[in-house]
């Protein structure tokens, strides 16, 4: 997957997250999950773009780690919304899968970069 394709994929994820937030109930639980998922889900795309402008390999690793953490956190909030029955599981299934796939992609990206710059590093 190219960086351009991944930029588009993370942007699509952010848009889907915002649509999820709009669909959440206007309850305390819905607002709590909505605020958190809106921040982490949109942060994936924003921080990925920042990582692409990294000034060094170390800066890239630092920034891609943030992307990884935000993708993983997004998965947590989606799963919580599912378990708390805030939205039907069928509406959240694909979004949760995308959060998990993005987490795997950014984990692999970080590991590969570490191995490239530190050949003896075990990720």
Average of per-residue pLDDT across 67-90: 97
pLDDT of residue 120: 66
pLDDT of residue 116: 87
Which parts of the chain are beta strand (E)?
none
In a domain, 123, yes or no: no
In a domain, 24, yes or no: yes
pLDDT class of 52 with cuts at 50, 70, 90: very high
Count of H helices and E strands in the chain?
4, 0
In a domain, 77, yes or no: yes
In a domain, 9, yes or no: yes
Q: What is the pTM of this model?
A: 0.92
Q: Which residues have C-beta within 8 Å of that of residue 68, sequence separation ≥ 6?
A: 103, 106, 107, 110
In a domain, 122, yes or no: no
Q: What are phi and psi of 86, to 5 degrees?
A: -80, -30
Structural domain of residue 102, as residue ranges?
3-117
Task: Tell me the CATH number at 13.
Answer: 1.20.1440.60
pLDDT of residue 5: 97
> pLDDT (tens digit, 9 = 90+) per residue, 87-101?
999 999 999 999 999
In a domain, 83, yes or no: yes
pLDDT of residue 19: 98
Number of domains present in the structure of the chain: 1
């Amino acid at each position: 997957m190219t960086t351009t394709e991944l930029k588009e994929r993370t942007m699509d994820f952010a848009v889907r997250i915002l649509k999820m937030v709009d669909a959440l109930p206007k309850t305390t639980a819905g607002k709590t999950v909505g605020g958190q998922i809106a921040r982490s889900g949109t942060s994936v795309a924003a921080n990925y773009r920042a990582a692409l402008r990294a000034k060094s390999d170390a800066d890239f690793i630092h920034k891609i780690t943030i992307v990884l953490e935000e993708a993983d956190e997004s998965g947590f909030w989606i799963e919580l919304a599912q378990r708390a029955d805030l939205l039907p599981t069928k509406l959240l299934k694909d979004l949760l899968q995308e959060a998990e796939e993005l987490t795997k992609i950014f984990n692999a990206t970080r590991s590969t970069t570490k191995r490239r710059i530190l050949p003896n590093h075990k990720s």
